Amino acid sequence: MELTRRGYAVLGIVVLAEVLALTYGARALNAIAAPAVVALLASAIQLRRTDVPTAERDYVPTAFPGDTRDVTVAVDGSGVARIEETVPDGLVAEGATAEATLPTTFTYALTCAERGRHSLGPLKVRMRDLLGLVETTYEVGSTTRVLVYPPVYQVAGRDVILRHVLERSDFERQEFDTLREYVPGDPLRDVHWKSTAKAQDDIYVAEFADDRVDDDQLVVAATADAGSVDGMAAAAASVVVMALDAGLSVELRVPEQTVPMGRGDDHRQRLLAALAVTDTEFTSPFKSYSLPDGAAEDADVVVRGESDGVTVTFGSDDRAFEEITVSRENPITRREVES
């Protein structure tokens, strides 16, 4: 419990009254200091008798960097309070403070800036008496985990996987599936000239569904040097999402864990969650952020993060990640990844 600015002002009045009492007699002390002292005591007693507030916060769904979530906070109790959310690095909150009479509910906007597992909270609730002379601060409510996936970019597509990873010299075209932007290495026969002519400045490539991928499997191994883990995570996430979209079963190997072979939306979320929590810091100079021996040797795709960039090896084809991405400025949105 401590005094507010107003409380210190009242305390100053008491001190001034004491000085006046020494100069002009006790009557000045009784007339000025006594009411001020009573007000301070009453405020302290009122605040001490106030129940400790409680708080609940909404669950925050998983997100990608740049996503914004509305978070609703309910604080129960009585009295006047200033409420402030505890926001860690990697998250940005707007409107996460409120001054209100309890109980109260308010909502703020939370923007996910960096991938990782972040802990939101606890809430700091600064209680004041009705006169605003005394205050005390509580930390209430549990922390909420906020999981932010790495960004996912559109890469060269299933044709590249079939030709380079599955060692197929030929792509069996079934029905038309989708259009995407041209990536260096795409065959010219796949260019969709009608859409390209309309776009003028962009080249579009047609992708076709291939029923043969239903029984195929892909093993992705990813490793990184210090300072390049974020880039590695984004590249690996882009590759596994591309493979799942092509209908392959995917296994992911990173230094801290292995996600077994699987497919489907639930497996997609497991893969992205594993890459979200992949180390972002090297806390020990003796820590080697590398795969176990042999883990990359039999992998179909190997992602390596190094000081000069991220490389992706598809079979015998070794490329910089920037070379096989459609766009680095516009990552795939959550809806596109999880649909």
pTM beyond 0.85: the answer is no
The whole-number pLDDT of residue 216 equals 80
Crossing angle between the packed helical segments 265-276 and 229-245, to the nearest 10 degrees? 170
Is the confidence at residue 173, as pLDDT, over 60?
A: no
pLDDT tens for 252-273 read: 999 888 999 999 889 999 999 9
For the residues 225-234, what does the mean pLDDT come to?
88
- 326 versus 216: the higher-pLDDT residue is 216
Least confident of 23-27, 31-35, 230-234: 23-27
CB 283: neighbour CB atoms within 10 A? 6
Burial class, 96, CB count within 10 angstroms (exposed 0-12 / middle 13-18 / buried 19+): buried
User: Which residue in 312, 293, 315, 295 sits closest to 304, CA to CA?
Assistant: 312
3-state secondary structure 76-131: EEEEEEEEECCCCCCEEEECCEEEEEEEEEEEEEEEECCCEEEEECCEEEEEECCC
Long-range contacts for 209-214 (Cβ within 8 Å, ≥24 apart)? 209/174, 209/175, 209/176, 209/177, 210/158, 210/162, 210/171, 210/172, 210/173, 210/174, 210/246, 210/247, 211/172, 211/174, 212/172, 213/158, 213/162, 213/166, 213/246, 213/247, 213/248, 214/247
Query: Across the chain, what does the average pLDDT equal?
Result: 80
Tell me the β-bridge partners of 79: 102
The whole-number pLDDT of residue 183 equals 66
**Confidence class for position 194, pLDDT limits 50, 70, 90:** confident
Do residues 238 and 152 lie in contact, with contact meaning Cβ atoms separated by under 8 Å? yes
The whole-number pLDDT of residue 285 equals 45
The whole-number pLDDT of residue 112 equals 95
User: Which residue in 159, 204, 186 sits closest to 323, CA to CA?
Assistant: 186
pLDDT winner (highest mean) among 50-59, 81-90, 157-166, 240-249: 81-90
**Confidence class for position 251, pLDDT limits 50, 70, 90:** very high
The whole-number pLDDT of residue 282 equals 47
The whole-number pLDDT of residue 6 equals 73
For the residues 318-337, what does the mean pLDDT come to?
70
- 136 versus 213: the higher-pLDDT residue is 136
- State what percent of residues in the chain have pLDDT above 70: 73
The whole-number pLDDT of residue 192 equals 73
Burial class, 63, CB count within 10 angstroms (exposed 0-12 / middle 13-18 / buried 19+): buried
* Angstrom distance (rounded) from CA 148 to CA 315: 30
Is the confidence at residue 213, as pLDDT, over 50?
A: no
pLDDT tens for 153-162 read: 988 666 666 6
> Collapsing DSSP states into helix, strand and coil, what is residue 226?
coil
For the residues 188-212, what does the mean pLDDT come to?
69
Is the confidence at residue 247, as pLDDT, over 90?
A: no
The whole-number pLDDT of residue 281 equals 52
- How is 270-306 classified by DSSP, letter by letter? HHHHHHHSS-S----TT----PPTTTTTT-SEEEEEE
Q: What are phi and psi of 245, to 5 degrees?
A: -65, -30
Give the DSSP letter of residue 4. -
CA 173 to chain centre: 39
**Confidence class for position 139, pLDDT limits 50, 70, 90:** very high
Residue 305: partners with Cβ closer than 8 Å, 6 or more residues away: 222, 223, 224, 225, 228, 229, 231, 232, 235
Least confident of 21-35, 78-92, 186-200, 281-295: 281-295
> What single-letter amino acid sits at 164?
H
pLDDT tens for 105-134 read: 999 999 999 999 999 989 999 988 777 777
For the residues 59-82, what does the mean pLDDT come to?
93
The whole-number pLDDT of residue 35 equals 75
Please provide the distance, in angstroms rounded to a whole number, between the alpha carbons at the two ends of the chain.
52
